[in-house]
Amino acid sequence: MPQKATRLTQRDIARLANVSQTTVSLVLNNRSDATARIPAETRDRVLKVIRETGYQADPLARRMLKQRNQILGVFTYESVFPSTSGDFYYPFLAGIEDRAERLGWDLLLFTSAPVADGHRRIFHENNRLRIADGCLLLGREVPSDELARLIAEDYPFVSVGRRDDAGAPVPSVGADYTTATHTIVTKAIALGHRHVAYAGPAASPAPIPESSADRLHGFHQAAGRKSLVLPTAPAGSADGWAARLLDVLLDRKITAVFVEERADAVSLVAAATARGIDVPGDLSVVALGDSTRPVASDVDFSGFHVPRRAMGVRAVELLEAILSGTATSQQILLPCELTEGTTLTPPKGV
C-alpha cells in the first residue's frame, strides 16, 4: 500500500478498496444523495483505505488529488447580502461574480456562520468550508486567529483587503491607500495649506483595520507625525459629532481636513454649511475613499475612490492562480482612483 497520500490517485484508492473509481469519487465528495445508494460495507471499506493512506473523508482529498469542484466560496464578516447597487460592497461582489463567470467557476455564499461576541466566525462545528475549492474573505475587520488557522491548515483563500496580523503573509488584494492619501495631502500642502488634520477611526486607542492604518501612514508621510489626528463618530453615534469636530477644526485654525469615511465628510460639510462656513473657501474637506454607510449627497468631493470592482476581479484571479500553482505574488495592491472634485482649493489669502 502506498505510504504517502500525495502519491495516490483515485485509481489507487479504488484498486485498494476493490471498488470503481466512481465510487471513490462519490465517497470523497461526501455526496449524501449518491452515497445513500452505496452499500454501507462498501463505503466503510473506501473510508478505511482513505484513513490508512492519509486522506481525509472530506473534499480536502480532492485538493490533494489536484481535482476541483469549480466552486469558490465567499465569506463575509459583515452582513452584505442582499446588496443594492448603491451598497459599499456591491462593486466587490460584482467584480467577483464577473471574473468567476468568465473562469467557469460557481460561487458559494457561506451564510450559516454563527455570531459570537458580536462577530461572525468562519470556523464553527457545522462549517462547510471544504465544499469549496477556495474562499474569498470580505469584511473590514477579519479576526487574525481565523486568518492564522486558514494559513496553518493550508486552505486556499484570498482576503479582499490587505491583512498583516496573522503571523504570516496573508494572500490578499487590497487598495493602495497609503500612496493615494500621500498624494492628495501633498497636493493640499502644495496649494498652500499649512494647518491640516486627519479625521478617522485611526485616532482610536483600539486596534484599527489595515485600511485605516495605511491611510494614516500616508497622511503622516506627507503632513508630518505631529499633524492633528481627530476621531470620527463611532457607528450609530449621535448627530452632534460633526458639529463638535467642526469646533475643534476651527479652534485649531485647520484649513484642510482629510476624512476617512465619506459619510462622515458629508456630515461635516452639512454642519459647516448650517453654520455659514464655506466649503472649500473656509475649510477644504477631502474624502479618503467611499461611503461604507448609506448616505445621500450631491457634493463632488476631492479625494479618491477605492477600486472595489477591480479588487473583486483580481481576488478571484489570485485565488485561481493559487489553486493552479501559478501565483507569482500573493499580496497585491491596486491604485486608488484620484478625483479632482470641488472641495479642495487653496486656503483664503493664498
In DSSP terms, 316 is beta-bridged to none
Q: At 187, list the grid cell.
A: 497636493
Q: How far is CA 235 from CA 67, 232, 297, in A?
A: 44, 9, 19
DSSP character string of 13-61:
HHHHHTS-HHHHHHHHTT-HHHHTTS-HHHHHHHHHHHHHTT--SSTHH
Which residue segments constitute the domains of the chain, with CATH numbers given? 5-64 (1.10.260.40), 71-175+309-337 (3.40.50.2300), 177-305 (3.40.50.2300)
* 318 CB burial (10 A radius; 0-12, 13-18, 19+): buried
pLDDT by residue (tens digit) across 285-313?
999 999 888 888 899 999 999 999 999 99
pLDDT in tens, the chain (350 residues): 444 334 567 788 888 889 887 888 777 765 545 445 778 888 888 888 877 776 544 444 444 444 677 899 999 887 765 556 568 889 999 999 999 999 889 999 887 777 766 677 888 777 788 889 999 999 887 888 899 999 998 899 999 999 988 888 999 999 999 999 999 999 999 999 999 999 998 656 667 889 999 999 999 999 998 899 998 866 555 568 899 999 999 999 999 999 999 999 999 999 999 999 999 999 999 999 998 888 888 999 999 999 999 999 999 999 999 998 898 999 999 999 999 999 999 998 76
Phi and psi at residue 199, to the nearest 5°: -125, 120
